[in-house]
Amino acid sequence: MSNRLAGKVAIVTGGAQGQGAAIARHFVAEGAKVVIADVADEFGQALADELGADAHFAHHDVSDEDSWTALVESTNERFGPVNVLANNAGILRFADIEKMTKEEYLLLVNVNQLGTFLGMKAVARTMRKNGGGSIINASSVEGLAGMASLTGYVATKWAIRGMTKAAAMELGPKGIRVNSIHPGMIDTPMTRPHGGDAAMEFGASRVPLRRVGYPEDIAPLYVFLASDESGYINGAEIAIDGGVTATHAFGG
C-alpha cells in the first residue's frame, strides 16, 4: 500500500464485519488510525487485535447520540482529531407494506437514517475546528431506485442520499466534504441471510458484470473518498454496482 491516508484519523461504523471490516483493513493498510465502531463486540475486538496498534475497537450504537459523543471524544483522545467518518453501519429488512410493523420500520429509520445524521452531527464540530475532513455515507442502489418489499430500507437509503447533498452544501464551506456511495448487491453478513447462495446467484444474473460484489470491491472507493485525491469531490453520489443502475427495468 502507498500510505494514501497517512495522518488521517477515521471512524468506521459497522466496522466489525463485512464491508465495514474491509474498509477498516484498507484504511489501516493505507496509513490511517482507525476506530472500529460496532455493537458486535467479539468480531470488532478480534479485528482490532488483527490490525494492531493503529486500530481500536469501541462498542457503539449509531442510533444513540450520547454514544456518538463518547465515541468522538475517545477517538480524539486516543488518535487525535477525527477527519474521516465512514458512516457504514446499516441493517436490511424485507417486508411487504401490509405486513411491516411500525416498530420494524422505525428500527430501519433509527439505525440507517438517524444513525447517519447523528454521525455527521457528531464529527462536524471536530472537523470544522481542525481543518476539515471527509464524511462518506453508505446509501445503496436502493437509494437511487425502488425495490418491492423493501419500502422501509429504500426510504432510509433515499434519505441518506438527500442528507448527504444538504450536508455537503452546509459543511463544504467549512472544509468538510460529504459524499454518498451506492453499492449494489454485495455479499456480506447483512445480505447473505436473505436467500443465501440462490439469492446471490440470481442477483449475479441481473448484473451486467454477471457477478455480485464483495466488500473488497467497495473498500477502495472509501479509501479514495477519504484521501486528499478526492479533494474536489463533494455532494456526489457514486454507484458501485457492477452496472445495475446503468439500465432500466427491461434491461438485462
User: pLDDT, tens digit, for every residue of 16-61?
Assistant: 999 999 999 999 999 999 999 999 999 999 999 999 999 999 999 9
Higher pLDDT, 240 or 247: 240
The distance in angstroms from the start CA to the end CA of the chain is 37
Listed residue (249, 92, 70) closest to 157, CA to CA? 92
Q: How confident is the model at residue 133 (pLDDT cuts 50, 70, 90)?
A: very high
| 192, pLDDT greater than 90 | no
Residue 143 forms part of a structural domain: yes
User: pLDDT, tens digit, for every residue of 74-99?
Assistant: 999 999 999 999 999 999 999 999 99
Domain of 162, in residue numbers: 9-238
User: What's residue 97's pLDDT?
Assistant: 97
- Give the CA radius of gyration of the chain: 17
Residue 248 forms part of a structural domain: no
Residue 243 forms part of a structural domain: no
Q: What total number of domains does the chain contain?
A: 1
Residues sharing a CB contact under 8 Å with residue 190, sequence separation 6 or more, in sequence order: 18, 19, 90, 91, 92
Main-chain dihedrals φ then ψ at residue 56, nearest 5 degrees: -145, 140
Residue 247 forms part of a structural domain: no
Residue 246 forms part of a structural domain: no
Listed residue (158, 77, 172, 59) closest to 120, CA to CA? 172
For the segment 187-195, the average pLDDT, to the nearest whole number, is: 75
| 195, pLDDT greater than 80 | no
Find residue 243's DSSP bridge partners: none
C-alpha–C-alpha distance, residues 251 and 54, integer Å: 45
For the segment 123-143, the average pLDDT, to the nearest whole number, is: 98
Residue 36 sits in a domain whose CATH number is 3.40.50.720
Residue 23 forms part of a structural domain: yes
- From the candidates 105, 153, 214, 222, give the one annotated as an active-site residue: 153
C-alpha–C-alpha distance, residues 212 and 133, integer Å: 31
214 a catalytic residue = no
Q: How confident is the model at residue 1 (pLDDT cuts 50, 70, 90)?
A: low
Residue 95 forms part of a structural domain: yes
| 238 sits in which H/E element | strand 237-240
Residue 182 forms part of a structural domain: yes
3-state DSSP assignment of residue 237: strand
The predicted model scores a pTM of 0.95
| 138, pLDDT greater than 80 | yes
